[in-house]
Structure 1
Amino acid sequence: MKAAVWYGARDVRIAEVDVPAPRRGEVLIEVAYCGICGSDLHEYADGPHAIPVSEPHPASGATAPLVLGHEFCGTVAALGPSVTGLSIGDRVAVEPNYRCGACPRCRAGEYNICRHFGFAGLMGNGGMAEYAAIPAYMAHRLPETVSLEQAALFEPASVALHALRRAGTTPETVAVVGLGPVGLLTVLLAAGRKVRRIVAVDVSPARLELAAGLGATDLIDARREEGAGERIRESAGGEGVDVAFEVVGSEAALRTCLAATRRGGRVVLVGLAREVSLDAFALVNNEQSIVASVGYRDTYPELIRLVAEHGLDLTPVVTSTIALDDLVTTGFEALLDGPGHQVKILVDPAAHRTGAPAPRLPADRTATRG
């Protein structure tokens, strides 16, 4: 089969590799779509950041080179020993985070902060391939009313949903600073929760326009507006918003969020920044709080329900679907060129094999059913 294999910074190869045989407790997925995430882009541009290169990851046992891609979905093609509750042919969304099930946080149900936290596609082989073998606990069966294209967006939508949960009770006013896929999905899900005022902030007019279509009530172009934080505060009646979501990963964006948030309000950190400085005196005097949000937990069932029963449509953030062979040129490089018109790019691993015979599956797994 073909797979996108990370060897190093600027060295991702579309290579022929063996179809993996699912081990005990694993399922083999025929991948339908895999989204390109900002994490994938960082690993391509100047990694490694999360990819293990010297010591195997404790959950996956993998080191580079490994197959990228953690935003994926597909159809169950084979079952490893001891797998129950899934059958060959089931369409599934993949929740790609590893968990040990034994550490204190896992036992408390907080598996997104497991001691051995990691993602298939970053810390182990992922879904930018025709087939992927994953732990069975990652696979969520889809009802017929949920398309695979919608399911391909459950991973970034889960990041947005978990961030909204970290905000506490549903606020009346929010600001979303940074309109990448996660920021845009935060706008969409906040609108679905009937948030009264949603201020969207970005440097891309195209993304601001998209945010308006997803439910943003106020738009602030951070290129042209001086003091974006103050402008957000003004748009929220001068008091400031209840919650601001930092979805950029920069000190400047954090400062904007703090300036935009009312006294007693909250800033949710979603973006990944190395080090930041802040005015702790003002933070205390305003009794603001900063909370972090990493990954997600128990979000897939809610997203499946929202799509299947309430008509939630995640697909407006998809701007193109490309073949696996084009991952580097029209995927990574296009996104690195700047905000442009691309937001979420989906990779279709089957696009290059139309009319070609399917890769051979492991002979001892194809007839196994749970």
Structure 2
Amino acid sequence: MRALRWHGAQDLRLEQIPIPRPGSQQVRIAVQYCGICGSDLHEYESGPHAIPVGTAHAVSGRSAPLTLGHEFCGTVVELGSEVTGLQVGDRVAVEPEYRCSHCAYCGSGAYNLCADMGFAGLMGDGGMAEFAVVPSYMLHRLPDVVTLEQAAVLEPAAVALHALHRSQLAEGASCAIFGLGPIGLLLVTLAKLQGAGTIIAVDVSPQRLHMAKQAGASHLVDAKGLTPRELRHTIASATAGLGVDTSFEAAGLQATFEGALRALRKGGNMVMVGLMSEARLDAFDAVNRELSLVASVGYRDVYPELIGRIAAGAFGPSAIITRTVPLEQAVSNGFAALVQDRSQIKILVSPSAGCNNQH
């Protein structure tokens, strides 16, 4: 089969590799779509960051080179001998977090904090291939009314919903979302569905701000050229001079980290979603205004909720998809396009034959 394999930074190779066979508790799926995530871009541009090199991951048993892609879905084509609850032909979404199933975190149900946490497509082989083999616990069967295109965006939607669960955002409350990539835009949509009152979307891209407006943002802030003081004043002006109840940092930048903190009212809470190696914090300000900071990683127990919302017609995550490309164009029209073109939000790779390149 064909698979897009990570060998090193700037070294993704479309290769022919053997079709994988499932173990007793695994399932092989024919991949329909696989989204390109910001984590994939980091590995492509300057990795390895999460990809194991030399030493295999404890749960997957894999190390580089490996097949990228953790935002994927498809159709079941082969079941391991001990798998129950699924059958060949089922359309499924993949919740790609590995679980060791025996550490304290897995035992308490917090499997996203597993002592050996990892993701298929980063710490093991993923979905940028014609077929993928994953543990059966990763699969969620899709109702007929949920399309595979919608299922391809469930993974970033799960990140956003888990972050929302980690927040203290109440119905009618105000929030600001810094960074309008896929996670930020989905946060706008889900905050609106949760009943947030004022939703302030902050970015430097006019195209992304426009998409945030369509997703339900009540206020748009183009932060390009604004000083921190001007940005704080703009957000305060939209909230009776107080600042927002909750802010979400979804870009992983020092500037957005500081902006998300400054945007808060006294007693407000900030959720860190974006990935960054370190951040500078004005601890005096945080203490003086009694701010709360929480972090959010991955997701747990949210896929059924998201699938139910899509099936009920209340949530349409595929609105963030801007392009679909065949596997052969994943690097040139996928990874490179996301690096160079800020108007691209979510690009799907389709390993299946006859992929339509237009969206």
Pairing 1:347–2:333 present? no
Matched residue, 1:239:
242
- Are 1:229 and 1:257, in contact at CA under 8 Å, matched by a contact in 2? no
Counterparts of 2:101 and 2:261 in 1: how far apart (Å)?
Answer: 36
Pairing 1:59–2:59 present? yes
Deviation, structure 1 residue 312: 1.2
Matched residue, 1:305:
308
Counterparts of 2:216 and 2:58 in 1: how far apart (Å)?
Answer: 41
Matched residue, 2:179:
178
Pairing 1:276–2:279 present? yes
Deviation, structure 1 residue 231: 1.4
Which letter maps to 1:202? D
Counterparts of 1:15 and 1:239 in 2: how far apart (Å)?
Answer: 55
Matched residue, 2:196:
195
Structure 1 stretch displaced more, 167-176 or 43-52 = 167-176
Residue of 261, 266, 282 corresponding to 1:263: 266
- Are 2:169 and 2:245, in contact at CA under 8 Å, matched by a contact in 1? no
Ranges of 4+ aligned residues in structure 1 off by more than 3 Å: 351-354
Counterparts of 1:155 and 1:115 in 2: how far apart (Å)?
Answer: 21
- DSSP-derived class of the 1:192 partner: helix
Matched residue, 1:97:
97
Counterparts of 1:151 and 1:353 in 2: how far apart (Å)?
Answer: 17
Counterparts of 1:254 and 1:135 in 2: how far apart (Å)?
Answer: 36
Counterparts of 2:259 and 2:232 in 1: how far apart (Å)?
Answer: 4
Counterparts of 2:100 and 2:233 in 1: how far apart (Å)?
Answer: 44
Q: How does 1:1-370 map to 2 (within 5 A)?
A: 1-170=1-170, 172-226=173-227, 227-339=230-342, 341-351=343-353
Counterparts of 1:330 and 1:169 in 2: how far apart (Å)?
Answer: 38
Counterparts of 2:309 and 2:160 in 1: how far apart (Å)?
Answer: 14
- DSSP-derived class of the 2:312 partner: helix
Which letter maps to 1:87? Q
Counterparts of 2:98 and 2:158 in 1: how far apart (Å)?
Answer: 15
- Are 2:169 and 2:175, in contact at CA under 8 Å, matched by a contact in 1? no
Q: Deviations over 1:333-353 (max 9, x none)?
A: 1111141x2100001101458
- Are 1:229 and 1:258, in contact at CA under 8 Å, matched by a contact in 2? no
- Are 2:180 and 2:201, in contact at CA under 8 Å, matched by a contact in 1? yes
* TM superposition score normalised by structure 2: 0.96
Q: Name the Cα RMSD after superposition.
A: 1.2
Query: 5+ unaligned residues in a row in structure 1: which ranges?
Result: 355-370
- DSSP-derived class of the 2:214 partner: helix
Matched residue, 1:365:
none
- DSSP-derived class of the 2:56 partner: coil
- DSSP-derived class of the 1:14 partner: strand
Counterparts of 1:152 and 1:91 in 2: how far apart (Å)?
Answer: 12
Counterparts of 2:121 and 2:188 in 1: how far apart (Å)?
Answer: 26
Which letter maps to 1:198? I
Which letter maps to 2:126? G
Deviation, structure 1 residue 225: 3.2
- DSSP-derived class of the 2:328 partner: helix
Which letter maps to 1:168? Q
* TM superposition score normalised by structure 1: 0.94
- DSSP-derived class of the 1:123 partner: coil
Q: Deviations over 1:7-45 (max 9, x none)?
A: 000100111111100012000010010000000011011
- Are 1:72 and 1:94, in contact at CA under 8 Å, matched by a contact in 2? yes
- DSSP-derived class of the 2:165 partner: helix
Counterparts of 1:293 and 1:143 in 2: how far apart (Å)?
Answer: 28
- Are 1:324 and 1:351, in contact at CA under 8 Å, matched by a contact in 2? no
- Are 2:169 and 2:196, in contact at CA under 8 Å, matched by a contact in 1? no
Counterparts of 1:252 and 1:202 in 2: how far apart (Å)?
Answer: 11
Counterparts of 1:93 and 1:181 in 2: how far apart (Å)?
Answer: 18
- DSSP-derived class of the 1:98 partner: coil
The 1:163–1:353 alpha-carbon spacing in structure 2 relative to 1, beyond 3 Å, is closer
Counterparts of 1:217 and 1:169 in 2: how far apart (Å)?
Answer: 16
- Are 1:93 and 1:142, in contact at CA under 8 Å, matched by a contact in 2? yes
Which letter maps to 1:314? P
Deviation, structure 1 residue 103: 0.7
Higher relative contact order (CA 8 A, sep 6+): 1
- DSSP-derived class of the 1:75 partner: strand
Q: Deviations over 1:65-96 (max 9, x none)?
A: 00000000000000012001100000000000
Deviation, structure 1 residue 310: 3.7
Q: Deviations over 1:243-284 (max 9, x none)?
A: 000001111111101110010000100001111111111101
Identity of aligned residues (%): 53
